[in-house]
Chains A and B, each alone.
Chain A
Amino acid sequence: MADHSAPPDCSQFTCPAPLRDRPRIVLGHGGGGALSQDLIEHVFLPAFGNPVLDRLGDSSVLELAPHLAGGGRLAFTTDSYVVRPLVFPGGSIGDLAVHGTVNDLAMSGARPLYLSAGFILEEGLAIADLVGIVTRMAAAARTAGVTIVTGDTKVVERGHGDGVYINTAGIGVVPPGIELGPKQVKLDDRILVSGTLGDHGMAIMSVREGLEFEAAITSDTAPLHGLVAAMLAACPTIHLLRDPTRGGIATSLNEIAALARVGIEIDETAIPVSPVVASACEILGLDPLQVANEGKLLAFVPAAAVAEVLAAMRAHEHGRRATILGRVVADHPGRVALRTALGGSRVIPMPLGEQLPRIC
């Protein structure tokens, strides 16, 4: 379709289209993409909607009486972990349960303080396996400097769970003066990414599907609040932070473009992907932009502060490969465009649900 009057910024690349109007929950509703959004918009927000929840951030920032939070504000979040297998190269469900919630708090600029831990265990799980997971979880909490202060355990009948599900909620404090969110995003902001993309998702997929690559792919699961603190020290007026987990940066960037009502342009040649992840995605027909990360963040930074923020990121162990991915533009508000290496452009659509390997 060489229609040169209007370059085809098309591409809803997940080969066949879905039926979105579904009477039952399908796996895609948990994929973080358009189906998950449908669920939030049509089921949860109508029931629970309020001014705090409606902001749809990674965590919610709560205004409290000043004496309660020492002048800061509280950040509060929750997340559930259902990963299979329970232990994978580079981490376990226990590490994820700490890092995921810590990172959701960190994306509000908060210093994470306390976690809750709820366990749903399946009848028949080996106690030794549970001890292994809990030990890793405790170590991850210690490293992240958070305290697990409350918890709960339920056991479901064999066949009604996948060994272990974990829910964690987290509380942190946002220092005064830090204001992160889609509303702060400005035209010409630069978009920074803290490192390579797709490592976690491909690590899980390679063990789950028994695929072997030249080098093992290791999950990037890591706590990011230290990196965030370093970045905010370099520039307290960073506009927005997001950790692109499920659905990858394709989902995060589309959410931000929609919430901030801006256009986003990224540069294909700037996308950091490790060679082994790139090869694995190539073989399976997956797009690294849609694959999950558990130790990476996106930052929307005022253009004038890019050098300082980038330097601060690269000086931190979790930001060594930080790079400038793209910028905020006036064109195509609500959409994410990618400039291809060959000089063309295409739209990065919001992924629908789970990513599926393509046949063609």
Chain B
Amino acid sequence: MKKNRSGAAALRLSGRRKEQLAGWLFLAPAIAYLLFAFALPIVYNVMLSFERTSPETIAQFRAPWAGLDNYRAVFDDPTSRSAIVHTFVFTAGSLFFQFIIGFALALLFSLRFPGRALARSLVVVPWLLPLIVTGVMFRFLFQAEGGAVNQVLTSLGIVDSPTQWLNEPRLAFWTILVANIWLGVPFFTLLLFSALQDVPVEVKEAAIIDGAGPWQRLRLVIVPIILPVIQVTLLLGFVFTVKVFDLVIGLTGGGPANATQLITTWSYNLSFQVFSFGQGAALNNVLLVLALICAPMYLWLSRGSLRRSRGAEG
């Protein structure tokens, strides 16, 4: 009996080092992958943005030093500048409407009504489709001739001649906004819905007993409780929206007259259409900085999961 117990202790002791080794072996593929698929491209993208690239230099991996020329070229280019502005407007507009609509639907789904489960399972559909499909889908709906949107508007008497949604710069921008709102609403609905489920019933009941009306209950009780989820959702929504690419390529291709060009689509154009990889990389870095602004906040909001790492097995 005694021998057995000390045997187990010895096993656990030698297990410490064995555990470290096994842990590192289990992590090795992931570390190798992260270095290859994230660290290398990000570092290389920074290098590229300071190089004078041409189609010939692609095969050589390195190109002559260009200093800040690529950044200067990008910020002097009116299309790049407008793409940056478009990205901001597109992101702010998307988040605003996605949040309002998503929250309204989440509140609706947290009530009890016939058909609730079915409605909730179907609401995620836009999220599962390939993004390029969503793009061409809305291109079809917004056609001037034979598009469903114009047909509804004319039959309701709102407009009397077909609206040129995709040919007028201002209207085209609205089409990418509408398509992206459609795309993002399920994400907001689902995350906010699951947060609402976690609000304790007693808290809601206490607020009712205290005489709070529905609007007061929402503003003073429910929103403060689910605020962390609202923050994470808006943050992820932001990150997701600044990288939208496929949707715009499928819907407008960045046109007409670059009116729907975002940082992503214009960067693609610079790198892969005119083969100015240096300028594309410079614009990519603008986008990367924009996206990574969120990183500290995201890490802070995920601190629960991070702190757990230290406590694991403790």
The answer to whether A and B assemble together is no
